Amino acid sequence: MGNKAPVLIIAIIGLMLWWVFSESQHHPEVKFGELILTEAENKNVKTAPVKKPLKNTPLIEPEASAHEPKVKDQLLADIQDWIDRYQVENRLEYHNEGLAMFEAAHQKGNLEAMTTLLGQLHSWEYNLTRPDQHVIGGDKVYIRFLSRYALRLLSCQTQPDQCDANKPYMDSYCQQDSALCNLTFQQYLDVALTPGMKMDVEALMVFYSQNMD
Amino acid sequence: MSLFDEQRNDSQTHSASMVSEQSNPNDALSTKQKNETDLSVPNHPIPSAMTTTEVPVMKGVSYLTVFRHYRQAQLCQKYIREKRMALMYHESFDFPEHIWNKAQENMAPNPDGSIDPMPEPLLQVATSHAKKCEKLLTVWREVFAKERGWSSVEGDFKQVLMSKKASSAKEKKLKELIEYDQRMADLFRTIFSTIEGTDTWTPSQIQSFHAKIKQLNGLRTPNPDADPMIQTRNDEIQAEVNRLYQQYSEQKQSNKPLAKQLVAELSALLMKTRGDLKTVDPEVFLLAKAITEVIPSDRPFAVFGLSNHESLSQTPGLENLVERDYVPTSKAFINTIAPHQGNQFLFFSTLKMAESLYYCSIGGDCSANGDLMTDWCLGLSYSKMNFEACGQDLLESELYAQLTTGQLHDINWMLTTLEAFYGQ
């Protein structure tokens, strides 16, 4: 047993070296001894221990991804702050600030933020245009309703249960017209919208989802 | 305010009630038309809200010319109202400036409080409109010998239309529709008063009732604050007032069978007028459209888009009186093209544009200086002004350019469908 121990240790080290070498061949872009870091962190690191990326995982380290929810929360917090600051007197300024935040949310592909902002950027009393009107045209009443449909459809892509037939918002349609009972949201739109409206919903979905993953 | 509300409250605005040969609705429908339109219920001679006393004949002026004065007067209502207000307060009146100041109410205030200069196209349209209205007022003063009065200019011309002889086929059709429009208003008013019932109390009993109510209201303490004793006393007074009103309501004798017959006549009249939508005359079309949408015809271009009314059977008070229901044309059209739509507001702007383009297609003036674009620009039929419509043809206007690809697609097939729907 005692004579076999060095042989075993050498064999294990050999296997490990072979495995590490073979992995580096599968990921030629990842050099041996390289550390995956953000650009900022990389500037401060001269030498570092070996870090092996796992198969099928994004090449983003937990340290980096930890910032993402914080940024997202900050945007939503800014939007909430903006909503709380609503004043009729400063309506134009307020609206322009909202448009800028929508631009930021759109660039980030943040559906939740876009949905919240579009609900607020609609003005019944003033002749102010919505950001999506600049893209596909239309009057604000028409776009407001189609926008809601488009945003819900997008949300249903990640949360399909949101468009289920048993959702409470479908009840009102069912009460109006029994032909609309037990339909999923997508089925409802298929029945309720004209061909042109469907075209516009699709155009809005394309616009909203431009920067989404 | 909806037409139905106006019917209930219009006793203040129409001062006299008089039946005349000209305004008698029985004459409005010829025997032939009655047979054609299944008017199985005989018309009931009801007093018209229109008066025909001392109506100038306007000799030497054609019926069509008077009709156009009437239409212009409708378009000038806003101008006349605002001018009269300015005169009453001894203020100077500059219509373009006035309308621009009004427009600020719908524009988000600039952060520095400044007001943008008036757009040139708006200035031109408002100036031109003011001239047309002044010209009309000159005619009105000459014909009706009125100066600075508050009487309804369009109402005065309408009275002439009700009594004047129509000569050409078009004039006869216009006259018929003017009479239907009046008959519709009279029917609504009578139906609601029939439902409400007539007093069985004597005039002195009614006088006593009003005096008692006034007395009770005078006993209330205006600001009870938090004093529960005073609040209780006020509640007791209110209970007594309610009890008296209940008594007053119960003494009225309503005539439901008559109301039902009148509703049937109304429904038949509306259905018959729908047949006139197949006309290719834009002036006849606008008038017929207003009636079939069950809206007041005094705002000529409010007829495009969706009517405020669902149907006769869904009109409060008429629920159990309708045997043959009537749905306004625009709603009926939407029900045809999208029977399972769950949101009619979604159709409003597209349908409004499609119907407007239909109006242009049958010869309606949709040019930059035409009535339609003037109406939209200055907000004459609707209170909302659309600067995008000022000084532009409909098809060249920003309003048209702003339509989405989907709306243009829908308008294209809606136009064809509308033709079939109107029966062309």
| B110 vs B48: which has the higher pLDDT | B110
Identity of the amino acid at A205:
M
Lowest mean pLDDT among A46-55, B89-98, B170-179: A46-55
DSSP assignment of B109-156: PPTT---PPPPHHHHHHHHHHHHHHHHHHHHHHHHH--SS--S-HHHH
Q: What is the mean pLDDT of residues B34-62?
A: 60
Q: Is pLDDT of B154 > 60?
A: yes
Q: Is the pLDDT of residue B237 over 70?
A: yes
Beta-bridge partners for B253: B198
Collapse the DSSP code of A60 into the 3-class scheme (helix H, G, I; strand E, B; otherwise coil) and give the result: coil
Q: Give this complex's ipTM.
A: 0.77
What whole-number distance in Å separates Cα of residue A30 and Cα of residue A77? 38
Residues of B in contact with A198 (CB under 8 A): 406
* Cβ neighbours, 10 Å, residue B285: 22
d(CA B137, CA B127): 15
* Mutate which: B102, B122, B340, B347, vs A, most A CBs within 10 A: B340
| Residue of B172 and A28 predicted with greater confidence | B172
CB contact under 8 A, A195 and B409: yes
What pLDDT score does B48 carry?
Answer: 63
Instruction: Select the residue of B108, B404, B409 nearest A136 (Cβ to Cβ).
Output: B404
Is residue B137 a contact partner of residue B156, using CB atoms and an 8 Å limit? no
Residues 10 through 69 of chain A touching chain B, CB cutoff 8 Å = none
pLDDT digits (tens, 9 = 90+) for B382-417: 778 888 899 999 999 999 999 999 999 999 999 999
Check CB contact of B402 with chain A, cutoff 8 Å.
yes
A193 contact B CB<8A:
yes
B88 in A contact zone (CB under 8 Å): no
Least confident span in B141-150, B169-178, B352-361? B141-150
Nearest to B268 by CA among B8, B36, B4, B45: B36
Burial of B218 (0-12, 13-18, 19+ CB in 10 A): exposed
Structure tokens at B184: 């519709």
| Closest CA relative to residue A194, chosen from A122, A139, A145 | A145
DSSP A78-105: HHHHHHHT--STTHHHHHHHHHHHHHHH
Tell me: pLDDT of B131 over 90: yes
CB-closest option in B106, B108, B338 to A192: B338
Taking an 8 Å cut-off on Cβ atoms, the answer to whether A200 and B406 are in contact is yes
Q: Mention every residue, 6+ apart, whose C-beta is less than 8 A from residue A49.
A: A35
User: Does A145 lie at the interface with B, CB-CB under 8 angstroms?
Assistant: yes
Lowest mean pLDDT across A176-190, B2-16, B232-246: B2-16
- Per-residue model confidence as pLDDT tens digits over A169-190: 888 888 888 888 999 999 999 9
Dig out the tokens for A155 from the structure: 């949300």
Query: Is the minimum CB–CB distance between B314 and chain A shorter than 8 Å?
Result: no
Q: Is A172's CB within 8 Å of B342's CB?
A: yes
pLDDT band for A39, please (50, 70, 90 cuts): very low
Q: What is the pLDDT of residue A173?
A: 84
Tell whether B386 is within 8 A of chain A (Cβ): no
Contact yes or no for A200/B404 (Cβ under 8 A): yes
Does pLDDT of A144 surpass 70?
yes
> End-to-end alpha-carbon separation of chain B, Å?
33
pLDDT value at residue B109: 74
Q: How far is Cα B263 from Cα A4, in angstroms, rounded to an integer? A: 109
- Residues A118 and B63: their CA atoms lie apart, in Å, by 53
| Backbone phi and psi for residue B258, each to the nearest 5 degrees, phi listed first | -65, -45
Whole-number Å distance between alpha carbons of B248 and B19: 29
Q: To probe the interface with A, which of B341, B345, B377, B388 has the most A CB atoms within 10 Å?
A: B341
pLDDT score, position A85: 81
Residue B23 has pLDDT above 50, yes or no: no
In this complex, do B403 and A138 lie within 8 Å of one another by their Cβ atoms?
yes
A168 interface with B at CB cutoff 8 Å: no
Length of chain A counted residue by residue: 213
Residue B176's pLDDT is 97
Q: Which two tokens stand for residue B188?
A: 């609504």
A139 CA to chain B: closest CA distance, Å?
7
Whole-number Å distance between alpha carbons of B137 and B144:
10
How high is the mean pLDDT of chain B? 85
CA quadruple B376, B377, B380, B385: dihedral, nearest 10: 100
Task: List, in order, residues 6 or more apart from B350 with CB less than 8 Å away.
Answer: A142, A194, A196, B403, B407, B410, B411, B414
**Structural contact between residues B379 and B389, judged by C-beta atoms closer than 8 angstroms:** no
Residues of B in contact with A143 (CB under 8 A): 404
Q: Does A196 touch chain B (CB under 8 A)?
A: yes
Residue spans of alpha helices (H) in B252-390: 256-274, 282-292, 329-337, 348-361, 371-378
Interface of B with A in 330-359 (CB under 8 A): 337-343, 345-350
Instruction: Give the number of other Cβ atoms within 10 Å of residue B228's Cβ.
Output: 9
User: For residue A56, what pLDDT band results from cuts at 50, 70 and 90?
Assistant: very low
CB B211 within 8 A of CB B241: no
pLDDT (mean) for B241-257: 93
Residue B32 has pLDDT above 70, yes or no: no
Tell me the per-residue pLDDT of B50-109, one tens digit each, with 9 for 90 and over.
554 577 878 889 999 999 999 999 999 999 999 999 988 988 999 999 999 888 877 877
Q: Does residue B11 sit at the A interface (CB-CB below 8 Å)? A: no
B349 contacts on A by Cβ (under 8 Å): 138-139, 141-142
Task: Tell whether B101 is within 8 A of chain A (Cβ).
Answer: no
Contact A139/B107, CB-based, under 8 Å? no
| Nearest-angstrom CA–CA distance, A196 and B4 | 34
Out of A141, A177, A198, the one facing B349 most closely (by C-beta) is: A141
Query: If you ran DSSP here, which 8-state letter would residue A2 be given?
Result: T
The pLDDT mean for chain A works out to 73
Cα–Cα dist B49/B152, whole Å: 14
pLDDT above 80: residue A206: yes
Query: How much is the pLDDT for B224?
Result: 66
- Say whether B342 and A89 touch across the interface (CB within 8 A): no
pTM of the predicted structure, to 2 decimals: 0.76
CB A180 within 8 A of CB B342: yes
Is B377 exposed, middle or buried, given 0-12, 13-18 or 19+ CB atoms closer than 10 A?
Answer: buried
Q: How far apart are CA B79 and CA B85, in angstroms?
A: 10
Does residue A207 surpass a pLDDT of 70?
yes
Give the whole-angstrom CA distance, residue B178 versus residue B297: 9
Between residues B340 and B66, which one has the greater pLDDT? B66
Q: Which of A157, A162, A164, A156 is nearest to A182 (CA)?
A: A164
